Structure 1
């Protein structure tokens, strides 16, 4: 049996971080990464089971993996993560294509589990003692890093605590070590993720202390917090931020309210109210210049009425979040919401989601007008033959707006585009808009920062981004 592996990642950024942990374990054990699942001896699928559509995607990915396996005799198919944690018995009985499966608590032992099941990989004299060098970076200048595992909340629509367990914070030193490894390989933005970020360390000051220590890492340019529950702890975090000098912390708050109706929030077992959310978002905008808000709404929960939807529209008009994610309720076994009467029809929920989306698009049009001709410091995400894709500090990777720049739109006295690479910071003037994304012009001054990858003399940005795109395409398609 050979020694190469490929990891397909489904689900959220937290799963991306978990896949990185599996990758480390495999490399420590003597396995080597392959460029795609077709050339791998071991195809590892890191699954998601959050909602029905995620479960369907996992099953479909396993079946696709089984087809790949048929064309490559001897390949092993491994299923890991949330789906297996939640449905281990069903996996054993109904997915015979899977050669090995394990849950969320064993990511750090992936290499050991493969060796126990299939035998240790053959010895390779060229394997370097350092298992991290050159092996964690996938060409993107950003990466998620997990603060914790599990969740102690009891939201009536969410099954995560049942298969991820109770909330456990990662040690600060362990987190910092991971970030150091990532920045050494070219990552310039770290997104701190968790099922419940503001619970880290049991005190919002612990997050601020961690972020302060992250500022000591010279190659880390941007720090972004995701999944901040909209409650008193996030308020205390924002109040504490005001008194600390944290220039690398982005003016960005992602705080999922899930609904604006007091009646529905109670049914969902969620904290807060429309007024409390408005106060929290107002405080956030006072704390940092240019602050933008991302939130999410869950629609179609049993018992939702037209009056509850009116509350959502009023919330949008009052709070005007710049970014909005919309989800349809999915009944989950093991939750208090499962089996509740008055379940909305899927078609009716889809119509409501479209109605709310159109409302938010009207708000976004006004937001875009305020961005017209504004100059932003941006991070370069991608380089293409005809242009580049960049992001403002106010936009998280993969889920928020980006700015598209054509090389023909570069200012006449602007920087030489041949000297710009993913991870660089550049000044960009917004010149126009699509529905969500923006158009921009690259301004003079040149890149504000260069990636360590290029300082070390590795390949061109086009080559690196092309390779990264090929290697990560399966992984990126599964992210939410």
Structure 2
């Protein structure tokens, strides 16, 4: 079937969370289904789509810079278009709408988080009619999972179980751009997972702004533990999920780490701060001691579970004591990975109106000190896997050395190992291999393959 997208090329640039990565795969699936060809670089692309994040100010700056730079990049040779079509979606598209076109006049299409399915129609209008085409809906009528997808890896899949968020942390813009929490029926989730397993997917990652509250809107109370049980029963080899709000992490869900075959021993549990005063100001609705008790329960369930977290430094009003509480908590828990951020004011959130007299250099010094302890504890955490054997899901060649394979351990650690003679990373991608760990660094493990495979 001939479509306006035949012989056109497209490139997607994705910022932010896993949900944006999932949405980008849906966009790629729609455009490829209409005859467009995915390319790696914007220089080769007739259509460039940006899937954006607005959680931090740096994301806005990065988007504006990259969109503006497209004006100076010539079209590829042989393109049927007279100008490159540029689209912006995701959270910045949802938040700013028409204002984006005012700031970036050469922008052609703006769409929001709730109407991915509209993008082909909007792009077609831009191709055939020119001008600006903006469509931002207030709420989603369906899940993006109903759209076709072109996954980055055939052996891994994102699987959203909720969209939106009801928590309204005072620093966070997400509830305003993703909407209120909405859960998918369990049978739909299981059906999609079964399709993935039948297609050879080895790892499924469940997605939601707060997966732990899954089902509250449908069933009156959270049923995330039931989702984990049902997905384990599909036979998938590896199961992960993100993101968990500590307030809603139940003993039942924690217990699943000890009992479910497929549930990997790794959990991202954002703490944001170790100070009760700051946590209250953030509207996180748990305390430092509650969080510490969750960590203890998780380690009772799986002794060496790999924990990761998010921490914000410099939230308005954070005192030296508040920061010390955070520092001591990070030191105590000993995370495998910590995503550290300096507070970024987001207009439209309650925290944006909070005054903070703390000098920037003080906040930066706290941040640098926190990074030091994060790296020290991450190194120590990885030392526990030295001289052990880990099962590694191969993702491909290492970016730093194409002679090494790169993959993920059950604890989500990056693992490198030399490729056997005559075997390429592409040959092994999507397979699970055993690696004897000979080296444990802060951010990766390295070793050698046991029972090295030969070329298929």
The TM-score normalised by the length of structure 1 is 0.80
Matched, 1:430 2:414: no
| Structure 2 counterparts to residues 40-51 of structure 1, below 5 A | 40-51=45-56
Looking at structure 2, the residues matched to 41 and 53 of structure 1 have their Cα atoms a distance apart, in angstroms, of 27
Partner in structure 2 of residue 77 of structure 1? 86
Q: Deviations over 1:401-429 (max 9, x none)?
A: 41221247x9xxxx977895112111112
Cα deviation digits, residues 295-321 of structure 1 (max 9, x gap): 111110111111111111221233222
Cα pair distance change 1:138/1:367, threshold 3 Å:
closer
Kindly indicate whether residue 452 of structure 2 is the aligned counterpart of residue 421 of structure 1: no
Please state how far the C-alpha of 1:105 moved relative to its aligned partner. 1.0
Deviation at 1:205, TM superposition (A): 6.0
Other-structure match for 1:439: 446
Q: CA distance change for structure 1 residues 416 and 50 in 2, over 3 Å: closer, same or farther?
A: closer
- Distance in 1 (alpha carbons) for counterparts of 2:366 and 2:331: 16
Alignment of 1:107-186 (within 5 A): 107-119=116-128, 136-139=150-153, 141-180=155-194, 182-183=196-197
| In the alignment, structure 1 residue 98 sits paired with structure 2 residue 107 | yes
Contact 1:204 1:237 in 2 (8 A): no
Partner residue, 2:135: none
Q: 1:256 to 1:309 in 2, by over 3 A?
A: same
- Answer whether contact 2:415 2:445 (CA < 8 A) is retained: yes
Task: Report deviation, 1:238.
Answer: 2.8
Q: Provide the rounded CA distance (Å) in 2 between the counterparts of 1:353 and 1:141.
A: 37
240, 243, 264: which one pairs with 1:224?
240
- 1:374 maps to 2:372: no
For 1:236, the equivalent position in structure 2 comes to: 251
Contact 1:69 1:76 in 2 (8 A): no
Report if the CA contact (8 A) 1:137-1:187 is conserved: no
C-alpha spacing 1:269/1:322, structure 2 compared with 1 (3 Å): same
What is the alpha-carbon distance in structure 1 between the residues aligned to residue 205 and residue 333 of structure 2?
24
Aligned pairs for 1:161-310 (under 5 A) are: 161-180=175-194, 182-183=196-197, 187-202=201-216, 206-218=223-235, 220-231=236-247, 233-241=248-256, 245-310=259-324
Q: What SS does the corresponding residue of 1:338 show, helix, strand or coil?
A: helix
1:36-95 CA distance string (max 9 Å, x none): 333333222212212100111111221233333666633311111211211113212111
**In structure 2, distance between residues paired with 1:301 and 1:280:** 24
Q: Which runs of 5+ in 2 are unaligned?
A: 130-146
Cα distance between partner residues in 1 of 2:436 and 2:24: 36
Deviations 1:257-302, CA, capped at 9 Å, x for gaps? 1001111111111122221111101111122353111111111011
Greater RCO, CA 8 A, separation 6+: 1
Query: Which digits, 9 at most, give the CA deviation of each residue in 1:111-170, with x for residues without a partner?
Result: 2333355459xxxxxxxxxx95xx623346434332221111121111111121111112
Once the two structures are overlaid, the 10-residue window that deviates more, 292-301 or 424-433, is 424-433
When residues 402 and 217 of structure 1 are mapped into structure 2, their CA distance, relative to the original with a 3 A threshold, is: same
**DSSP-derived class of the 2:436 partner:** strand
Deviation sequence 1:160-206 (CA, Å, 0-9, x none): 11121111112334434544555566542222121111111127863
Please give the residue correspondences for 1:460-475 in structure 2 after superposition, counting only pairs within 5 Å: none
Q: 1:35 aligns with which of 34, 39, 46?
A: 39
Aligned to 2:415: 403
TM-score (normalised: structure 2): 0.84
Q: Is the 8 A contact 2:210 2:242 kept in 1?
A: no
Matched, 1:325 2:325: no
Contact 2:334 2:377 in 1 (8 A): yes
Provide Cα deviations, 1:333-386, integer angstroms capped at 9, x if missing partner.
Answer: 111111311253333322211101111222233323322111111211223652
Paired with 2:303 and 2:390, the residues of 1 have a C-alpha distance of 12
Retained in 2: the 8 A contact 1:238–1:283? Answer: no
Relative to structure 2, which stretch is displaced further, 74-83 or 341-350?
A: 341-350
Structure 1 unaligned residues grouped into runs of 5+ = 121-130, 396-400, 448-459, 462-480
**Which SS does the other structure have where 2:39 is aligned?**
coil
In structure 1, C-alpha distance between the alignment counterparts of 2:405 and 2:452, rounded to whole Å: 17
The question of 1:348 aligning with 2:357 is answered no
